[in-house]
Amino acid sequence: MIGIGFAQQTPGSKQTAPFSIEGATAHLGDGTVIENSLIMVSDGKISFVGSANMRIARMGKVINAKGKHVYPGFIVSNTTLGLGEIDAVKASIDEREIGAFLPHIRSIVAYNAESKVVESMRPNGVLMGQITPRGGMVSGTSSLVQFDAWNWEDAIIKADEGIHASWPNSLTFGRWWLGEDNGAKANPNYTKSIALFKEKIENAKTYLAGPRNPKNLVYEAMEGLLNGTTKLYVHVDGQKEIIDAVNFAKDYGIKLVIVNGDEAYKVADVLVKNNVPVIVQRAHRIPGGDDSDYDFSYKLAKLLVEKGVTVAIGMDGDMERMSARNLPFYAGTYAAYGLGKEEALKLITSNPAKILGVEDRVGTLAVGKDATLFISEGDALDMRTNVLSHAFIQGRTLSLESHQTTLWKRYANKYKNQ
């Protein structure tokens, strides 16, 4: 019986009857707020968004959400959710492959839709994620999935939407544990590493323009970068390195996204000019720079947004899969440090949808988009009030139970009766 309690939740059934959500404060995800709203859903899509004061027939069952808040499903960017289960158990981790240049590696085929870690995202409103590989100079492709599926095929919203690369560092630091000077020095291999990437691009162009025989999976995977259908996500922090990555992308006509980008605010004008968005790290971390403000990590999003950069929140770092459930609270911290609530909400709704190229389907509450949304008792960016009463993915009703809520209720009852 205990094993049954820990089983993965069965995915919801396809929506067969329309329903309406009435009375909630609707946060549309684009900065717009509708008090006393009316949202109607049919066939997995949003069919109406407006004021509940309008004289219009409600569709199907009416959910009374007066005093509550409704949000589009949150999107977590740059995450290894579903690619690992228990950090200390090597056999459960499948986030990287052996090799340095692997654009043909598809993270989506390793995605575990039955992960208990993935299941624990939903009670906080995190309903979608960009599943991203790690390791090497070029790690492979990421895909956007929704978190209510039988398998990875069912989970896909957009497959292989981008290739991820780790940009080399222009500086090296001595290994202090070996007695080396740990001061910064110019990296003699910096230009060589970039030259290698350029060589691979040139080789791919030559291959793709020819008969493609014999078939080369590495070069085949790079076709999307060169024809504009796939984005290049460059994981990089330094000011010089960011500029070099932007120039590299311009030279080859590649659509670029900066990931992490601690010093991106220093070159924000270049990013805006070249339409390059940034996926920043989560707010709850120690600043990386020796001369950074103590609260730098809390206000990085503001520094970028106020200069016109499109920003989303990623999860790279320690305990990243488990920490992804705190996505709305990272946005809440960015809100408290200058962004404001509705602008911070964009970091996990409309902005990642735009970056991932799915703004026509998800990211905001709008007619014609997927009915992937949830109802919260209060402010979803505040951990004290983000208590979900309902959640839906493509109109399907979700269970908000997980192995964690099961344990919480089990032991709450134990101590309540003592």
The reply to whether 373 falls in a domain is: no
Write out the residue range of the structural domain in which residue 411 sits: 2-70+391-416
The reply to whether 114 falls in a domain is: yes
What CATH number has the domain bearing residue 44? 2.30.40.10
Q: How far apart are the first and last CA of the chain?
A: 24
Residue 275 and residue 318: Cα distance in Å, rounded? 30
The reply to whether 385 falls in a domain is: no
- Give residue for tokens 């004008």: 269
Residue 118 and residue 126: Cα distance in Å, rounded? 9
- Give residue for tokens 């979900």: 388
Query: 148: closest CA among 230, 44, 64, 220?
Result: 44
| Shared-domain flag, residues 208 and 176 | yes
Residue 222 and residue 210: Cα distance in Å, rounded? 14
Show contacts of 285-292: CB within 8 Å, 24+ apart: 285/317, 288/237, 288/262, 289/262, 289/263, 292/262
Task: Please report the pLDDT score of residue 418 as a whole number.
Answer: 64
Mean pLDDT of 340-344: 96
Residue 208 and residue 204: Cα distance in Å, rounded? 6
pLDDT in tens, 371-382: 999 999 999 999
R_g over Cα of the chain? 22
| Shared-domain flag, residues 38 and 106 | no
pLDDT at 392 over 90: yes
- Categorize the per-residue pLDDT at 29 as very low, low, confident or very high, splitting at 50, 70 and 90: very high
Quick one: what percent of the chain has pLDDT higher than 70? 98
Residue 397 and residue 316: Cα distance in Å, rounded? 30
For the four alpha carbons of 101, 103, 105 and 111, in that order, the dihedral sign comes to positive
Residue 51 and residue 160: Cα distance in Å, rounded? 38
| Shared-domain flag, residues 259 and 316 | yes
pLDDT in tens, 128-184: 999 999 999 999 999 999 999 999 999 999 999 999 999 999 888 877 777 777 777
For the four alpha carbons of 376, 378, 382 and 387, in that order, the dihedral sign comes to negative
Distances (CA, A) of 68 to 44, 61, 63, 65, 378: 22, 17, 11, 5, 6
For residue 27, the surrounding DSSP H or E stretch is strand 25-27
pLDDT at 319 over 70: yes
What CATH number has the domain bearing residue 249? 3.20.20.140
Q: Which residues lie below 8 Å from residue 254, measured CB to CB, with a gap of 6+?
A: 225, 226, 231, 232, 248
Residue 141 and residue 165: Cα distance in Å, rounded? 10
| Shared-domain flag, residues 266 and 316 | yes
| Shared-domain flag, residues 260 and 200 | yes
Query: 234: closest CA among 205, 193, 282?
Result: 193
Question: Which DSSP string corresponds to 258-271?
Answer: EEE-TTGGGGHHHH
| Shared-domain flag, residues 118 and 264 | yes
Distances (CA, A) of 177 to 173, 174, 182, 268, 350: 12, 9, 9, 36, 45
The one-letter code for the residue type at 225 is L
Query: 66: closest CA among 125, 22, 104?
Result: 22
Tokens of 221: 């995977």
| Shared-domain flag, residues 270 and 403 | no
pLDDT in tens, 203-239: 999 999 999 999 999 999 999 999 999 999 999 999 9
| Shared-domain flag, residues 46 and 160 | no
pLDDT at 185 over 90: no
- Residue-level length of the chain: 418
Tokens of 374: 């949830």
| Shared-domain flag, residues 64 and 91 | no
Task: Please report the pLDDT score of residue 5 as a whole number.
Answer: 42
| Shared-domain flag, residues 211 and 114 | yes
Q: Are 141 and 160 in contact (CB under 8 A)?
A: yes
What average pLDDT does the structure give for the chain? 93
pLDDT at 191 over 70: yes
| Shared-domain flag, residues 284 and 412 | no
The reply to whether 371 falls in a domain is: no
Query: 193: closest CA among 233, 223, 174, 166?
Result: 166
| Shared-domain flag, residues 136 and 171 | yes
Task: Please report the pLDDT score of residue 35 as a whole number.
Answer: 97
The reply to whether 382 falls in a domain is: no
